Amino acid sequence: MTGNSKILMVVTNGHTMENGELAGIWLTEFSEAYLEFKKEGYEVVVARPKGGTSPVDPNSLTDDVTDEDKEAGKLLENTKSLADISSQEFAGMFVPGGHGTMFDFPDDTHLHRLLTEFAEDDKLIAAVCHGPAALVGGKLKNGEPIVKGKRITAFTDSEEKDTTLDKYMPFLLETKLRELGAEFIAKDNWSDHIEVDGKLLTGQNPQSTISLAKEFVRALNA
């Protein structure tokens, strides 16, 4: 570990979709990354737009979720508000996904502020699965989208259709990121796949979380 040892993890407020189901955070996208960061000695601060509890997507509580994952998930019960977060405290930002991010991240002004500050200060920004929904509203000081011209990945349109929740989403994430000028790289559905372009790191889906977290730590230590 070198220099600043604090990582900001930004999580969703959660949202009830039109079908009545909860769109929350995908537990292992948070827990697997959090556990990797703690193992490497980093201090982690968890925040969401509103602060308070970030609800876990019930569909993410599968049989392969460990007790360690569940223990880490308790941190989601008392998060800080993004309004109270200063980018100066942190070496990097890591954004887990879950469908909830599609509803609150694209329009959150405090998240936009932090993304601009992290990008302009050349700090690491990582996002996995639906986490790159945060990047939809993220801009540089000159007004250009943070993702413009960047090689990135995220939950693909094909994967979204696989979930059958595509019709409940406000937009399709891959399509939106392409519209913003990103060079979007999609691999086979549910494959472990990350992309690194400078200080912007992205992962395609839940299966990519550990790979992305390890690359994030490697980049922090570089």
- Residue 160 falls in the annotated catalytic set: yes
Digit-coded pLDDT (tens) for 57-109: 999 999 999 999 999 999 999 999 999 999 999 999 999 999 999 999 999 99
- Residue 129 falls in the annotated catalytic set: yes
CATH code, 6-221: 3.40.50.880
Of 29, 112, 129, 195, the catalytic one is 129
pLDDT at residue 37 greater than cutoff 70: yes
CA atoms within 13 A on the CB side of 203: 28
pLDDT at residue 2 greater than cutoff 60: no
Q: How many helices (H) and strands (E) does the chain have?
A: 7, 11
Domain ranges for the chain: 6-221
* Residue 6 DSSP class: E
User: Which residues lie below 8 Å from residue 74, measured CB to CB, with a gap of 6+?
Assistant: none
Give the DSSP letter string of 139-154: B-TTS-BTTTT-EE--
SS3 state at 115: helix
Digit-coded pLDDT (tens) for 136-181: 999 999 999 999 999 999 999 999 999 999 999 999 999 999 999 9
Of 29, 36, 159, 160, the catalytic one is 160
Of 130, 159, 195, 215, the catalytic one is 130
- Residue 117 falls in the annotated catalytic set: no
Residues found in the chain: 222
